[in-house]
């Protein structure tokens, strides 16, 4: 492989978008990654980092813009690391995400002969995020990190944030400045009921005694904020209402502690659930195992259809929320298990438990360590919902070695202007 030297300048044409913040070009057969570029761009680039198999550069001059390039509408695009694909038209973004999913499954998973359904676009290209997480520094500034750094920028608003989150961004900064407790992140969470906003701060150390009065007074002075949450290691304090309403499939309303995980894109979340439920074909004869169930986003709609659902989640706070929502909706065919997924599946195998179908929705790290025991539980159909195509491909390949066949996948875009994409995959046992 011919190596490209650092600080070398070259002219290249961008071929595609990588699974990451870069466009891909090639120079003498070597991959060159250029951030904030668009397929079809011709650029003069300077090499910043040179590795044996690839190089990373920066655009010195845009020689000829791609027909697929658009003027990024966000004034913070050049500095902020949050939306690296914003210079590409949305149709190009969707095509790139579809291709990245296909490439991961064929290259990493070695799969062939499966169906890839067209990607489902986001209902909204901008202002789609109901959760906005900002970092705080030692100067009590609040903002986003610059690309590939921990240097903070302080936007006045965010183009992909829900308008209600943007409205309360100055209030989040005000609250941060008044707090004595060291806070490292503040998240603005907008519930699915109009205008209901909670501010949640992730703290280091203990709650400073004076912050009880500070936060109570702050909430009194800002009645349009539903609640404040501060939490740290083994403690949590709430002022006002600390839960938000999340709309799940079937019109089910879930009351969830604001700081717990929920999908950022409300409409996209419903599409994910719809696809999962449709492919699951759940009936009263099914005993369903759901791993990484969170607070019950998929669990409750599945329980309305299946004979029994055993829902596994490691976070006890999520389990408590899910159990309360199940009871509130009168679902008695739910069994909640608070445990790491791999440990729970191993226990089920040892006890001889059997399931007809399984649903997995793991974090980005995937479900490594689960597959061997999962395959021994008699599961005929597995639905895997993933936010990380490479780990999805790895895990599905492990299931493939245990006698399962990949039937179809559907990408769903919950994250316009970033490279992230959700995927629903269906595997069935070979007979």
- CATH number of the CATH domain containing 30: 2.40.50.140
* Structural domain of 57: 9-69
With contact defined as beta carbons under 8 Å apart, do 23 and 34 qualify?
A: yes
Only one residue has tokens 């769903």, namely 412
pLDDT in tens, 364-386: 999 999 999 999 999 999 999 99
Structure tokens at 69: 């390039």
Tell me the catalytic residues: 387
Task: Find the mean pLDDT for residues 174-196.
Answer: 94
Please report the DSSP string for 323-363 in residue order.
Answer: HHHHHHTT--SEEEEES-HHHHHHHHHHHT---SEEEE---
The 8 Å CB, 24+ separation contacts for 222-225 are 222/171, 224/168, 224/195, 224/197, 225/168, 225/171, 225/197, 225/198, 225/199
Flag whether 254 is in a domain.
no
Task: Tell me, yes or no, whether 109 and 192 share the same domain.
Answer: no
Are 285 and 424 within one domain?
Answer: yes
Question: Is residue 365 in some structural domain?
Answer: yes
Pair 345, 303 in one domain: yes
DSSP 104-123: HHHHTS---S-EEPPPBPPS
In this prediction the pTM is 0.95
Domain boundary among 35, 53, 69: 69
Judge whether 78 lies within some domain: no
Q: What domain count does the chain have?
A: 3
The answer to the question of residue 43 being in a domain is yes
105 and 48 together in one domain: no
Average pLDDT over residues 241-262: 96
Q: Is the pLDDT of residue 155 over 80?
A: yes
Q: What pLDDT is attached to residue 2?
A: 52
Residue 1: predicted pLDDT:
47
**Residue appearing with tokens 């202007």:** 417
Cα–Cα distances (Å) from 274 to 206, 209, 244, 269, 370, in that order, read: 42, 46, 22, 9, 25
Give per-residue pLDDT as tens, 9-23. Answer: 999 999 999 999 999
User: Residues 208-229: what's their mean pLDDT?
Assistant: 97
Closest by CA position to 61, among listed 18, 21, 5, 9: 9
């Amino acid at each position: 492989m011919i190596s490209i030297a650092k600080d070398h300048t070259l002219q290249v044409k961008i071929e595609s978008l990588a699974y990451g913040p870069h466009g891909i070009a090639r120079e003498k057969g070597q991959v060159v990654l250029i951030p904030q570029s668009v397929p079809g761009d011709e650029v003069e680039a300077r090499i910043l980092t040179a590795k044996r198999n690839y190089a990373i550069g920066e655009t010195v001059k845009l020689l000829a813009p791609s027909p697929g390039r658009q003027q990024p509408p966000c004034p913070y695009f050049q500095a902020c690391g949050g939306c690296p694909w914003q210079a590409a038209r949305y149709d190009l973004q969707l095509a790139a995400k579809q291709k990245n999913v296909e490439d991961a499954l064929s290259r990493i998973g070695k799969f062939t002969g499966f169906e890839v359904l067209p990607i489902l676009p986001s209902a909204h290209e901008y202002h789609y995020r109901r959760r906005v997480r900002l970092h705080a520094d030692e100067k009590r500034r609040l903002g986003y990190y610059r690309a590939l750094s921990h240097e903070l920028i302080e936007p006045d608003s965010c183009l992909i944030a829900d308008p209600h989150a943007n409205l309360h961004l100055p209030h989040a900064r005000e609250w941060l400045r008044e707090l004595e407790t060291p806070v490292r992140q503040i998240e603005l969470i907008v519930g699915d009921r109009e205008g209901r906003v909670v501010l949640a701060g992730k703290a280091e150390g203990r709650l400073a005694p004076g912050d009880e009065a500070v936060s109570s007074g702050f909430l009194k002075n800002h009645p349009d904020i539903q609640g404040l949450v501060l939490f740290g290691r083994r403690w949590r304090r709430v002022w006002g209402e600390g839960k938000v309403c999340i709309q799940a499939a079937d019109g089910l309303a879930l009351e969830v502690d604001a700081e717990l995980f929920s999908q950022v894109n409300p409409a996209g979340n419903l599409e994910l659930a719809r696809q999962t439920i449709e492919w699951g074909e759940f009936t009263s004869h099914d005993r369903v195992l759901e791993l990484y169930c969170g607070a019950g986003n998929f669990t409750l709609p599945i329980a309305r259809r299946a004979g029994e659902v055993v829902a596994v989640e490691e976070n006890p706070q999520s389990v408590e929320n899910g159990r309360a929502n199940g009871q509130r909706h009168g679902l008695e065919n739910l069994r909640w298990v608070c445990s790491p997924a791999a440990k729970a599946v191993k226990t089920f195998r040892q006890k001889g438990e059997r399931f007809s179908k399984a649903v997995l929705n793991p974090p980005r790290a995937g479900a490594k360590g689960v597959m061997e025991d999962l395959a021994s539980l008699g599961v005929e159909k597995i639905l895997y919902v993933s936010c990380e195509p490479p780990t999805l491909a790895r895990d599905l390949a492990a299931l493939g070695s245990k006698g399962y066949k990949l039937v179809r996948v559907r990408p769903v875009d919950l994250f316009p202007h970033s490279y992230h994409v959700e995927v629903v995959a269906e595997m069935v046992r070979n007979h």
